[in-house]
Every structure is written in C-alpha cells, then in structure tokens.
Amino acid sequence: MPDYKAPLREIKFITNELLDWPSHYASLPAYADVATPDMVDAIVAEGARFCEQELAPLNRTGDMEGCVRNEEDGSVKTPTGFKEAYSKFVEGGWPSLAHDPEHGGQGLPESLGIIMSEMVGSANWSWGMYPGLSHGAMNTIDLHGTQEQKETFLTKLVSGEWTGTMCLTEPHCGSDLGILKSKAEPNADGSYSVTGTKIFISAGEHDMAENIVHIVLARLPGAPEGTKGISLFIVPKHLPNEDGTAGERNAVSCGSLEHKMGIHGNATCVMNFDGAKGWLIGPENKGLNCMFTFMNTARIGTALQGTSAMEASYQGALAYAKERLAMRSLTGPKAPEKAADPIIVHPDVRRMLLTQKALNEAGRALVYFAAQQNDIVKVAESEEERKQADELLSFLTPIAKAFLTEAGCEATNLGMQVYGGHGFIAEWGMEQLVRDTRIATIYEGTTGIQALDLLGRKVLMTQGASLRTFTKIVHKFCKAESGNKAIAGLIKPLNKINKEWGDVTMKIGMSAMKNRDAVGAASVDYLMYSGYIVMGYFWAEMAKVAHEQLAAGTTEEDFYKAKIATANFYFNRILPRTQSHAAAMLAGPGSVMDITEEQLAVL
C-alpha cells in the first residue's frame, strides 16, 4: 500500500491563504472563540497523526479480510483492528468535534470536521464510512427530532457510543423512492412497527459500537402514493432503556452482506425490519423532505471520497515515478549514473501525475469552499448571509458530488497506470483505490441523478438564478484581476468560458421547451462542463495567491511555483475538455433518443 501522509501544507494553503478561514471563523460569533488558529492547527495535526498511524495501516487489511456475517444471528464482524481503531477514535473525541455542546459536542465548525473526514478517507475510506454515516443521522435528528429524541439518540450519536445509518433503497427501487414499499403501523404507545427490506445499507450491522440508529423511510397507512406519502422513522438496533443505555434487541437484522467490487472493509447490508419498533421523526408524509438533510450531508461527504482517493493515489504514483527506472529521456539521460532514467522524466508520466495533482488540489478547494458556505448557513447571524450561502451551496453540491467522484475515478486509474503492470497487482494498493473509489459515482445519487438535479432543478427551474450565484463570483474576480499581468493567461479564458456558460445554458433551456428529453440528454455533459469551469476558477485564484507570495518574498518558492505550473497545466490541458462537453450537450436529444429499443437490442 502507498504510505499515506496527510497533506498538511496543502490543507493550510487552502484554508489559510486561499479561503482565509481564520477571518471566516472570527466573523462567526459561534466559532470566534473556539476555532482559533492555534486550536485549528493542533486539531488538524492530531487528526493527521491518527489517520497516518492508526487507520492507514488497516486499509489493506480491511480489503483482504472484508466483513464476516454470523449465519446464526446475523451479526457482523469487522476486519482486524477496525473495532480497536474506532474505540480510539471515540476516546479522542473525534465524533463530537463539530456538534452542538448542548448534546455533548465540542461546538467546532463543520468545515473543520471536513478536514478530518478528508484525511480519514485517504487513509482508510472503508473504516471512515462507519462514523461518517453518523453525521447525517445526527444532523437529521438535530433539525427534525423532538427534544426527547435528541436526548435519547442524539447524545449517544454525538459521543460516538452509537453509530447511525440511512435506510432508503429497496430491492425494487433505487433512486425512485416514490415506489418504496416499507410500511409503518402505529402502536398504542405512540411508536410504530416498521416492516420492510432495505438494501445497500452501508454500516448497517457491525461490532464497532454498542448500538446502531437506523434512519428509515416507510409509508404510514393510507399515505398518498409516490414521494408525497413517505415518512421518516428512527429505528434502533437495540431499544433504549430508561437510563439511556442500549437494551432489548429490536426486530431489525442483517439478512446478508453484499459482495462488492470494493470498500470490502465496510459492511454493506441487506437489512430486514420485521415489525421493528421505531419513532416518527418530523411530520407525517414529509419524510423525504427531512431525509434530504441526511442526503445533502452525505453528498458533500461523498465528494470528499473523490478528493481523498485522488490524494492517496497521487502520493503512491509520485513516489513510484521517482524511483522506477525505465528507458532514457527523449532529451538525453537525466540519471546517467543509473541503468535508466526514473519514469518521472517522461512526458506522459508527467501528464498523468499533473492531471491527478490538478484535479485533486482544485477539488480540495471546492469541497472546503462548500464547507465554508455550510458554516455560514448554520451559524451566521445575518439572514441574508445565510440565504446567499445556502443558494450557493445548493448549486455547488451536485457538482462537488458528481464531478469530484468522476475525477476520483480518473485520477485513481491514472495512478494505477503510472505503475504499469505493477499497478494491477494487489500488493501495491493502487488497484484497491480504483475499486474503492468506483462506488462513489453511484451512491448518494448517481452522476446522472446529480446532473438532472443541477441542470433541471437548480438551473432551469430557477431560470438561471442558481447558476448566476456562482458566475457572478467568477465575473467579479475576472474584472478585479483584469489588469493582473501575472495571471493574464488565465483570466482571459476563464472570463470567456464564464460568459459561454450562461449562453449554452440558455440554448439548452430553449431546446427543452420543445423537447423535454433535451435536459436528460445534455445533463451529464452539462455537469462535467460546469465542474471544469468551477475548478478553473479555483486554479486562477490559487495562481493569484501563489504569485502574490512569490512577489512578497518567500522561503517556499518551489511550493508556490508548483501551484503556478499546475494552474497553467490545468488551463492548457484540462479546461479545454469543456469544448467537447459543450458540443455534445448542444447536439440535442436526437442522437440519443432516435434509436428504438428494438434497434438497441440488435446484436
């Protein structure tokens, strides 16, 4: 396996120099006194140590051993070391980091928690899914639960004593939750009996915590058809005792474990609810609205899988490329004392490494920027500030989730390619990263689902207002930097494509007025096109900061020169991909929809 080292200098560059989190935290009274620079540095450093020393060594173990289900009682044993690492995680107070002190949390910003989540993901994504899913459960109960539910379940989730899941998908329905069949019958004591089968439930059953709190979608008797008749329920593995401890076993069990391409260390379960006792959370028939709290949290978390995987793969590929000897440089030997040159001297290897680096570093900037907006939505005192941040976050979420997970797949495949034949061999760990990352484009809404959300709901249904929340930011930046000669080569193309973004959106909208399939046919290309522009904006911003630091005089010249070189690579080699996406999405739905099902079936 590649040796993982937390990219602390990169993290500090994004948080302190690019996004100015010290000023951001100081401007939010809820965080001004707790998220001081010294405190943030100490937390990140300790988080890095935990991930490097405790989690990374378990990554291959989890992949090789997987999880084991006991056929007699349905219990699941996690891989060697997972349970012990989780105990240390809880002892360190990591689950409570970014939660309300009223429920036992430390009251630190969620954006700080994102840094920890990224490092955990790079070190051991399968392990990180166990505590990771709990965050969505916590947020859902915090926003929609009763005071009693918060006292009973939220405090245990915040402490990490209990973990949480989200139970949506059923065997007959994936993203189309309107046809789910799970039902909830009311009991005399105000609780409900929940019956149904859920599939693909990550961390649905395991031995790492004493209780698991399932957040379950089900239908009440007489509920309307479709998504308007879905309610949300809290269904724990063990019913809570009066003193808050985990008590009697509930009628919920793991029917089987899924056999998966990757993330073997995480238990992906078929969960059976056989009249399990649960409690309604939120209003009747409004479960999907409440669940979106969970899903949006999970989507930002999934976007992190893209960046986490890119970081881990890049570290492995870079180290290998510096050591592996093969052939001579086309411009003459670079290591004449050796039998051949390190492969890092070859242009194509440089292309692969720079693609990984460019996508990874801008992807981190995007996720951290989204996390910053989430802080504002959560605790800013001004309603206008919260509204603006929420609109921006709403627009960026499907891009972050889908684009970065697609980029993660590209980057991990490139990392494996750098190794050549060795990349296909399990001992090096690069193929595991490819397998583990592939699921990220599927769960929490596939790339296609996210693309429809972006183009259909977020952009066209708002008549472009959602899009303009971001294009205005880019426009203002380009206008302010129009005289900056240092980044003139970036500003001109960025400004041009930012204007084009609005034009192509209008053309798709006009096409959709004649044929609604135009939206579905264009959506994925539109999302990828949008993602490349967003990344271009962040690279232009990063290049600006790098030039300023060099002009001011710095002892880290190589660091900032690398930023500038990578920005130039991105604009020359990656941003032009937008043109092929533009041509495809403007081609109309005909080439996609004109072929009949019978013609598709011809072999």
- Residue-wise pLDDT for 97-128, tens only, equals 999 999 999 999 999 999 999 999 999 999 99
DSSP class of residue 170? Answer: B
Q: Is 195 exposed, middle or buried (0-12, 13-18, 19+ CB in 10 A)?
A: middle
> What is the C-alpha to C-alpha distance for residues 373 and 366, in angstroms, rounded to an integer?
11
493 close to 539: Cβ distance less than 8 angstroms: no
**In a shared domain, residues 440 and 548:** no
**In a shared domain, residues 385 and 475:** no
Which residues make Cβ contacts (< 8 Å) with residue 25, sequence separation at least 6? 31, 32, 35, 36, 40, 109, 375
**In a shared domain, residues 306 and 431:** yes
Catalytic residues: 444
The answer, yes or no, to whether residue 550 has pLDDT greater than 70, is yes
What is the reported pLDDT for 336? 96
- Number of structural domains the chain divides into: 2
482 close to 475: Cβ distance less than 8 angstroms: no
209 occurs within a structural domain: no
Residue range 55-107, pLDDT digits in tens: 999 999 999 999 999 999 999 999 999 999 999 999 999 999 999 999 999 99
> What is the C-alpha to C-alpha distance for residues 459 and 332, in angstroms, rounded to an integer?
52
The answer, yes or no, to whether residue 297 has pLDDT greater than 70, is no
What is the reported pLDDT for 136? 84
What is the reported pLDDT for 177? 66
**In a shared domain, residues 497 and 372:** no
66 occurs within a structural domain: no
Question: 521-525, long-range: CB within 8 Å, 24+ apart, which pairs?
Answer: 521/585, 521/588, 521/589, 521/592, 521/593, 522/455, 522/584, 522/585, 522/586, 522/589, 523/448, 523/451, 523/452, 523/454, 523/455, 523/456, 523/585, 524/447, 524/448, 524/451, 525/581, 525/582, 525/584, 525/585
What is the reported pLDDT for 294? 56
**pLDDT average, residue stretch 19-42:** 97
Cα–Cα nearest to 488, from 375, 576, 568: 568
Q: Which domain holds residue 543?
A: 452-593
Cα–Cα nearest to 266, from 208, 197, 306: 208
> What is the C-alpha to C-alpha distance for residues 477 and 487, in angstroms, rounded to an integer?
12
Question: In this structure, what token pair is assigned to residue 485?
Answer: 């000669």
Question: In this structure, what token pair is assigned to residue 329?
Answer: 């440089």
Cα–Cα nearest to 144, from 136, 271, 185: 136
The answer, yes or no, to whether residue 514 has pLDDT greater than 70, is yes
Q: Which of 446, 464, 494 lies at the terminal end of a domain, its last residue?
A: 446
Q: Which of 446, 475, 494 lies at the terminal end of a domain, its last residue?
A: 446
What is the reported pLDDT for 300? 81
**In a shared domain, residues 472 and 580:** yes
Q: What is the pTM of this model?
A: 0.97
Q: Which of 430, 446, 462 lies at the terminal end of a domain, its last residue?
A: 446
What is the reported pLDDT for 301? 82
**In a shared domain, residues 336 and 474:** no
Q: Where are the alpha helices (DSSP H) in 419-516?
A: 430-438, 447-452, 465-480, 488-514
What is the reported pLDDT for 290? 82
**What is the average pLDDT value for the chain, to the nearest integer?**
95
**pLDDT average, residue stretch 490-497:** 98
**In a shared domain, residues 401 and 335:** yes
Residue range 439-454, pLDDT digits in tens: 999 988 899 999 999 9
